[in-house]
Structure 1
């Protein structure tokens, strides 16, 4: 079969046209004819062995991609998590890790959405315990997951949504998708801090969803820092670390503000929360997309093109999707 395979000695995966087809090993496994698979930062990090979930993995040739969209033997079109890699013509999936797709959603959108939904809805619902009427700031909203997070926060009833980022064009487009105010990270740190303090004074920030970490997270935490008087409670949820994996955090900040600092990602969710993601949250977002109430822009490529485009990053809030 045709597949994109990562070999241990290589830094990037290769397109192979005669890789062995996977075989189901028990009655709970199904063969999926894959039609589309999105390429996420998670896939790249896991393929390189740099993601925390890959520690201890035995290095061997393997098809890349953790999830995708395809057709089962009975004709059902589904999104599924892969037992084997999904950037291939065939993959093995488990029966209880598939979601039937509604009419009206295309393969590329269905492949692109779930990772972004997990990277936004899970943080909003379970780590931040978001309530309708709250103010949400999304730090790093110009990537694909950030764009989805803006729309989901609005769907969940946010009163005000503030977004930050460096891509000016995408920042402006977020105003049409539900954002109320934008903060350009291309400004000087002094201007960023002044704008954020003004926002927090006028409309206290209830939730921060952070995809960047690094210096911008330090600035946000500095903005929240109290002066010895009563402070507004803010729930800060770290999801990504695009601009740096570590920050300096002043102990005074922790002591001076009513701050809840948590993370949302693989390993942080309970079994019940993950089950809810599969049974309720992702299906709801699929239906919203099918009803044209949730926008997900993709850049679609062929299987054989991925090898040369492996280092491509999301541009203008779009997701790279391999169409098979």
Structure 2
């Protein structure tokens, strides 16, 4: 069968022939793969740079950990497994979700990772409540745009977004963003705007896809002065702007803040089960009904090498069609 394989000492996957996989456990299913999204998570795991994966062995590693596939009886599902960017793959029967008839393959493949990167943080790490003021740091990417929409769907009273791409930042207003702050400005101007907003309508939740210097600016902007403060839930989901920050202990002492992360290993088993039984089915239906908007660009599997390091236009996501 054909597959996208990351070999040792290669920067991009190769389009190559490999033997078809076989099931070895009772909870596994052999499926026909239809579509797989290209995500930062997949890129990190393929190269061994993500904390959840080692570098590929001498025989290489098939790329992809999830996608849209057909069960042996023809049922179309979203499933999680290993080596998904191939004509055939093995998925876990406990980690699959039926896909509504009105949802196309590309959207169904691209949406789950963004939902995991937004809903899990909003619902379980931040415990979002109706009326909460939510700041999405780095909202111009695919997952950030989904976070904006889900924050409003979950009842946020106001959504503030930051980003560097002006066109994408402006477009977020059509998805529910109330205030946009450009990270291309001088740091003092960014801090001034954040402080003004926080004084008028205190930020309750920060969903952060950037970390790095932008996180330092946000945290400094919410620093307290000794008076009572609202409870702030700061959730780190990504680190596109850097993996490390400097954090003053005065910020932790002066603000009622909960600083946490949302990612593989940070959720209990019960919450992961709810992801498959409730959250993904609900968001799939929202997308099928046109109430959750995404932007995807489809490419054939044989073009994987040429597109691997490219960025999809307008904050979208590339999806490999197989």
Quote how far apart the aligned CAs of 1:256 are.
1.1
In structure 1, the residue corresponding to 2:318 is in which secondary structure?
strand
**Counterpart in 2 of 1:95?**
93
| Partner deviation per Cα, 1:123-160 (whole Å, 9 max, x = no partner) | 00000000011110000000000000000001001000
Gap runs ≥5 in structure 2: none
Q: Using the alignment, how far apart are the partners of 1:299 and 1:176 within structure 2? A: 20
Provide the TM-score with structure 1 as the length reference. Answer: 0.97
Among residues 163, 167, 176, which one is paired with 1:178 in the alignment? 176
**Counterpart in 2 of 1:40?**
39
In structure 2, the residue corresponding to 1:316 is in which secondary structure?
helix
In structure 2, the residue corresponding to 1:311 is in which secondary structure?
coil
**Counterpart in 1 of 2:8?**
8
> What value does the CA root-mean-square deviation take over the aligned residues?
1.2
Residues 1:27 and 2:31 are matched in the alignment = no
Q: Using the alignment, how far apart are the partners of 1:269 and 1:60 within structure 2? A: 32
Quote how far apart the aligned CAs of 1:96 are.
1.3
State how 1:274-285 maps to structure 2 within 5 Å: 274-285=272-283
Quote how far apart the aligned CAs of 1:27 are.
3.2
Asked whether the equivalents of residues 7 and 57 of structure 2 are also in contact (C-alpha less than 8 Å), the reply is: no
> How many residues align structurally?
322
Quote how far apart the aligned CAs of 1:58 are.
5.5
State how 1:262-281 maps to structure 2 within 5 Å: 262-281=260-279
Q: Using the alignment, how far apart are the partners of 1:223 and 1:302 within structure 2? A: 45
The structure-2 alpha-carbon separation of the partners of 1:59 and 1:150, relative to structure 1 and needing over 3 Å to count, comes to: farther
| Partner deviation per Cα, 1:156-208 (whole Å, 9 max, x = no partner) | 01000000000111111110100101001011111101111110011100000
**Counterpart in 1 of 2:215?**
217
Q: Using the alignment, how far apart are the partners of 1:57 and 1:254 within structure 2? A: 40
Gap runs ≥5 in structure 1: none
Asked whether the equivalents of residues 167 and 316 of structure 1 are also in contact (C-alpha less than 8 Å), the reply is: no
Quote how far apart the aligned CAs of 1:30 are.
1.3
**Counterpart in 2 of 1:291?**
289
In structure 1, the residue corresponding to 2:37 is in which secondary structure?
strand
In structure 1, the residue corresponding to 2:169 is in which secondary structure?
helix
In structure 1, the residue corresponding to 2:315 is in which secondary structure?
coil
Q: Using the alignment, how far apart are the partners of 2:80 and 2:294 within structure 1? A: 20
Provide the TM-score with structure 2 as the length reference. Answer: 0.97
State how 1:173-322 maps to structure 2 within 5 Å: 173-322=171-320
State how 1:49-68 maps to structure 2 within 5 Å: 49-55=48-54, 60-68=59-67
